[in-house]
Chains A and B, each alone.
Chain A
Amino acid sequence: MRTEGLHANDNHGDAIAGACDPRLRWYPRSWRARYGDELIALLDDEYGGHLPCLVRIGLVTGGLRQRVRRSGLTGDSGPAADGVRGGVLVVLAAWTAFVIAGASFAKFSEHFDEALPHRSGAHRVPDVAFTVLQAAAGVASLLVIAGALFAAPAFVRFLRTGGRTTLRSPIRRALAWTALTVTATVPLLLWAHHLTPHQRNNGIHWYGALFLLWAGLIVITLTLWTVLAVAAGRRLELPTPLLTAEAVLAAAVAGAMVIMVGATVVWWGAMAEDAPAYLNASPGGAPSSPWDIWLIATVALMAAAMGTAAAGVVREVRVWAKLRER
């Protein structure tokens, strides 16, 4: 006799035991509720109390795979809408990483035009590249805000229908770290206000260390808000036209990232040509080399974020046809 539905589970007490077993901690909760009990029984039958190392690794990778599948990022057996939604959320996460890299680049490129020689044409390429970068960043930011506004009514509905309980932990974490970041920002700003540009840029080591700590707080806070956005985005009920709009916006943001990475590389090349001393001025810079470690790390993070966003868009496109059939 077949059970009623794929998610039926008759041994409710055992199922809860299986769902809570620490050996399955890498699996998503909904998966554990359905299969955890059976898998624990199998582990007990096969290995008794001691799990070999390879089996433990297999459970970790299996659990992570299920998490990725449940988020709609891989697999073709789930609803197409989940696939599109997964692609959009990947682009959103990639955008956060890109913003962090962008902030790093903004700090690196401060006052770059003052380092350019005063000859005809020397300013043109770096300036144009930097302007393109800023414009693309502005457009992409507006697109992300538009996407958030489009989803806002569904988010409010979700909160009103019990979503607040589901998101309580990520909301609390994000708010707590935001408060900590704001608290750290005020004294740092006040101190910075009384320092000269030279003192702010490696002139005072304590200030440099505190600045790095503050930058770390910003990164953590941004990451936690993104985690909250992804957690909420996975649960929102979005009608197909709205999901389509979000997918188009996400693809446009990914396109903007491609433009920004291109503009950054052009800026880098032009600065290496016209003002190589500027690229060597940072602590990681080697004499007579355009390969500054800070800039390399920044551009690498930008490129990684761009690649991740592209993967999200590819995922969207792959499931697009399936969604259109509905």
Chain B
Amino acid sequence: MRNGQSNRVDREKPQARRRANDPPTLILTSLAGGAKHGHALLKDIEEFAGVKLGPGALYGAITRLEERGLIEPLQSDDRRRPYQITAAGSQALADSLAHMRALVEVGQARLGMVRTPRPRLA
């Protein structure tokens, strides 16, 4: 049964396999709470995840996310252009979080932290 659980997690959508501290995941999570520009993103991510992204890493991830249509820029009157999450971005974040949740549940079950795993993993 445990092997079955493990396989179930491993076979989730490959694009959903992101680490919790991946810059794209952190950015999508931050933007899920509302549109933000670069500086606000850095502050928010540091606050909720305790991760201090470098500006190079932040904009590398923003470039990739925008190219994939997961975020989009908003019009702005100054240099600080805000970004918002798109529908595709929300779906990608949901997939990613579901994958992480499944992973957490398997880990907790194996550690005996949860007595009965969720039915979808049983």
Binding site for B on A (CB under 8 A): 1-3, 6, 8, 10-11, 14, 18, 31, 35, 37-43, 45-46, 54-55, 58-63, 65-66, 69, 75, 77-78
**Known contacts A35-B59, A38-B79, A62-B54; 6 further A-B pairs (Cβ under 8 A):** A1-B74, A3-B72, A3-B81, A37-B81, A41-B79, A75-B67
Q: How many residues on chain B are close to A (CB under 8 Å)?
A: 27
The 9 A-B pairs with the shortest beta carbon distances in the complex, nearest first, are: A62-B56, A58-B56, A58-B54, A41-B79, A42-B38, A77-B67, A45-B39, A59-B56, A1-B75
* 0/1 string, B36-60, CB within 8 A of A gives 1: 0111001000000000001111111
What is the CA–CA distance of A78 and B67 in the complex, to the nearest angstrom?
Answer: 8
Chain B residues, CB < 8 A from A39:
38, 55, 59
Binding site for A on B (CB under 8 A): 37-39, 42, 54-60, 62-64, 66-68, 72-76, 78-81, 84
A-B CB contact pairs (8 Å), 12 listed: A2-B73, A2-B75, A3-B75, A6-B66, A37-B79, A38-B38, A39-B55, A41-B79, A42-B58, A58-B54, A61-B56, A62-B55
Q: What's the nearest-Cβ distance from chain A to residue B103, in Å? A: 23
The answer to whether A35 touches B62 (Cβ under 8 A) is yes
Residue of B nearest to A52 (CB): B54
The answer to whether B56 touches A77 (Cβ under 8 A) is no
> Known contacts being A37-B79, A41-B38, A41-B80, is A3 close to B73, with CB within 8 Å?
yes
Chain A residues, CB < 8 A from B74:
1-3
> Known contacts being A10-B76, A75-B64, A78-B67, is A38 close to B56, with CB within 8 Å?
no
Residue of B nearest to A51 (CB): B55
> Known contacts being A2-B74, A6-B66, is A38 close to B57, with CB within 8 Å?
no
What is the CA–CA distance of A11 and B73 in the complex, to the nearest angstrom?
Answer: 14
Q: What's the nearest-Cβ distance from chain A to residue B44, in Å? A: 13
Q: What's the nearest-Cβ distance from chain A to residue B56, in Å? A: 3
Chain B residues, CB < 8 A from A37:
79, 81
What is the CA–CA distance of A2 and B55 in the complex, to the nearest angstrom?
Answer: 23
The answer to whether A55 touches B42 (Cβ under 8 A) is no
Q: What's the nearest-Cβ distance from chain B to residue A54, in Å? A: 7
The answer to whether A11 touches B64 (Cβ under 8 A) is no
